[in-house]
Every structure is written in structure tokens, then in C-alpha cells.
Amino acid sequence: MTARPHPGLFVTLEGGDGAGKTTQSALLEEWLTRQGRSTLRTREPGGTEVGLLVRDIVLHHRGDIAPRAEALLYAADRAHHVETVVRPALERGDVVIQDRYLDSSVAYQGAGRVLGRAEVRDLSLWAVDGLLPDLTVLLDLDPAAARARLNADDKPFDRLEAEKDAFHARVRQEFLALAAEEPDRFLVLDASRAPDEIAAAVTARVSDLLAH
């Protein structure tokens, strides 16, 4: 196992809308707090004030955004977030628990749209000066099951949630392909399992990483 480039631990959660990332982030944070670790919970897009403005554009703008512009907006949010929030926390020794990171860009902008995955990944890596997560938890869920969960919420769909199931199926396949390419970084979990079972698998892996 390679030594981490920072005293903290960078954990990201990925998966389609409705896979349970928020629930798992909260459970992981509770567990870490009980272990006496300081944590930072954050998300993209929208982990900073600038990011909230970007989030408003990418999620709530009515009408098309050119694919390269959309990719740059997510990358801009990410660049500012990593520089001002994530890296300082990792340098302090925090465990950063982050809802979505660059794998979301590759899956949504790369596979889902017209851009290639390599260019989207390279753009994001440039934006964050090469910072990769120490662990990425992929909560894998069939898009039909995810949609049923989102429908149960009674909230109006945002722009991306309203896209067709075929798009979400492509995003899912892209996440799984990314996980297959980097098996050491990814922990793929079946998101239809009970939340506490998923949480146990996540904490086991995090505990292992913290021990090294």
C-alpha cells in the first residue's frame, strides 16, 4: 500500500441519484466521530459559496448548457472547493467525506453526453492539481430502483434528475467501468442492501485505511 500524500483521509461517495449517498455519509461521519476522528462532510457541486452559485447554474438553469461549458462549470466548482476546503482539511488530518467528486464528472459529462471520458477526467485532474480520493465508495443501484426511491421523496425533480432512465443506465455502466479500472481505490457496494449493512462494509474499509 502506498503512503498517502496528506495526514487526513479523502473518502468520496459516488453513484446515481437516489443511491443513498447522503445516508451513508451521515453514518460514516457518526462512526468516525465515535472513534474520535475529526471529519469534514462536504459535497460537489456546491461545497463553497462560489460552488453554490455554480450548482444553481448546472442544476436549475432551464435550457441547454453546451457540454464543454457544463464540464468546465463542474471543474470550476471542484477547483475552488479542493483548494479552499478539501486540501486544507486533509492537511489538518481530517477525514473528508465527500458526496460526489471527479468520477461523477466522468460518468455524467463523459459517458452521458458527447465528451470523451479521458478528456473529462484530465480536465478535472488539472482543476484539482491531481488530487485523487484515497477511497471511493460506489453505491451501485439499478436506475429503476433509484427512480422509485426519488419518486417517494415528493420533491420536484431537478434538471438532471428529470433525464431519461437510459441516461442513468449509461451513467451506472460508466461508474462500474471506472471502478473496474481502479479496483484499489473503489469499493463497490450493492445499494439495495440495508443501510446498516452497507455502512458496516464502508467502516470496515475506512478503518483498514486509517490503520495504515
174 binds ligand TYD (CB under 6 A): no
From the CB of 36, what's the least distance to ligand TYD, in Å? 29
From the CB of 163, what's the least distance to ligand TYD, in Å? 8
From the CB of 7, what's the least distance to ligand TYD, in Å? 25
Identify which of residues 9 and 139 has a Cβ nearer to ligand TYD in the complex.
139
Tell me the CA distances in angstroms from 19 to 36, 149, 155, one per residue in order.
28, 8, 16
User: Which position among 28, 109, 135, 137 is part of the footprint of ligand TYD (CB under 6 A)?
Assistant: 109
Q: At what angle do helices 117-127 and 67-81 cross, to 10 degrees?
A: 30
Listed ranges 28-36, 40-48, 180-188, 201-209: which one lies at the site for ligand TYD (CB under 6 A): 40-48
74 binds ligand TYD (CB under 6 A): yes
User: Which position among 12, 25, 48, 105 is part of the footprint of ligand TYD (CB under 6 A)?
Assistant: 105
Identify which of residues 74 and 186 has a Cβ nearer to ligand TYD in the complex.
74
Binders of ligand TYD in range 138-167 (CB under 6 A): 158, 160-161
Report whether 45 contacts 74 (CB < 8 A). Answer: yes
Q: At what angle do helices 67-81 and 49-60 cross, to 10 degrees?
A: 160
168 binds ligand TYD (CB under 6 A): no
From the CB of 157, what's the least distance to ligand TYD, in Å? 9
- Which stretches of the chain bind ligand TYD, using CB under 6 A? 17, 43-45, 59, 74, 99-100, 104-105, 108-109, 158, 160-161
